[in-house]
Amino acid sequence: MPARPAHPLGRPPVQQAAVREALCRRILAGEWQPGERLPPRTALIGQLGTTSATLQSALDELIADGLVVTRGVHGTFVHERSPHRFRFGLLLPQHPDGEKLFNRYWQALMDAAALVADGSGQTMEVFFGRHYRAESPSFDRLCGDLARQRLAGLVVVAPPSMFADTPVLSTPVPRAFISGGPPPAGDLDLGVDWSSFRTLAVRRLAERGCRRLAVVGASGLFEHGAEADAWQAECAAAGVGFSRAWLVAGDLLYPASVTYHLELLGAQAERPDGLVVADDNLLPVVLAILARIGMPPGPGLQLLAHANFPLGRGEPPGIERIGFDAHRQLLEAIAFFGRRHAGLQPAGQRQRVAAEIRPA
């Protein structure tokens, strides 16, 4: 994409900004469709009450932003694959460079964003917020893109409150929020169907002959008791034994926190013969502990582990995985953005992706 032209004093003159905004508004409103030629320069000068030099400077900015393209003597055209229709953003709270809070789900979303690129010209760029950081060049770049209408939609992996008083919420771009509270009116609440995870996990382990089930999950999963009740109900429906003492909660910041409770499981006379690891961030530690206490996955302990698809590099082999397709989540968001751009009222602002099992 061409470099954006420089301006004296570091910013465009007021009239030039107004001309650019007027042209951009008409493009975004669909007055000129992708591939359509803009009116002749003389007509635009008259309509906008500007000069040839100011119009050219405004068009240069739109060219740099990818909204229009010139074709020599044939004129200026709306870009057939302009960013306001083909370029999407994925906003994560922070950069993954060594931060403990960066998790495997966010990595799966990053990997899935790369899969968005297809023959239609769609792309998805990953941006990082300022969580626990004073500065984020990536977030600054996102704010600039939002201000210049260079995104067709934004997927935000954080609660809206994290980006209060920023262009993330103030710019009228279609948005989808993953995790953390209700989104602003009109935005998509995009998540996963956790109940389908429980049902599918219990049924699968029952099919594999398990009669006593334990679950290892993140500490927040079992906070209020409703989750334990739901696992108990699923196990009862499938004829699988279940005890609340077999719920093991682990701190995602300190996965080794599951050690004590797993050791207790291993010391019991009646051990569980099925284990669901309900958070893939805990899986490496769980596998290490099971090997150390003499309960490795196998005929005596059927293991089913949570995953975010597509699976990344370095995942332990030979383990059946159950989880959610991050790529499908992003495609659901893009479909929502398309309906918004088409002026269609979406059927609903709440979308949930069901769990699926993939073989080892």
Alpha carbons 214 and 245: distance in angstroms, whole number: 8
The pLDDT of residue 239 is 96
pTM: 0.82
- Look up residue 329 and give its amino acid: Q
Closest-CA residue to 202 (of 227, 232, 230, 235): 235
What sign has the CA pseudo-torsion 284, 289, 290, 294?
positive
Could you give all domains of the chain from N- to C-terminal order, each with its CATH number?
8-80 (1.10.10.10), 84-185 (3.40.50.2300), 194-325 (3.40.50.2300)
Rounded CA separation 139/129 (Å): 5
* CA 329 from centre of chain: 7
What tokens does 359 get? 């073989």
Is residue 129 within 8 Å of 96, Cβ to Cβ?
A: no
Q: What pLDDT sits at residue 100?
A: 56
Q: Report the pLDDT value the prediction gives residue 10, as an integer from 0 to 100.
A: 42
Region of 255 (left: φ > 0; alpha: ψ -120 to 50; beta: rest) is alpha
The residue ranges of the chain whose pLDDT is under 50 are 1, 6-12, 14
What share of the chain has pLDDT > 90, as a percent?
44
SS3 266: helix
Residue by residue, DSSP assigns 98-124 as S-TT--HHHHHHHHHHHHT--TT--EE
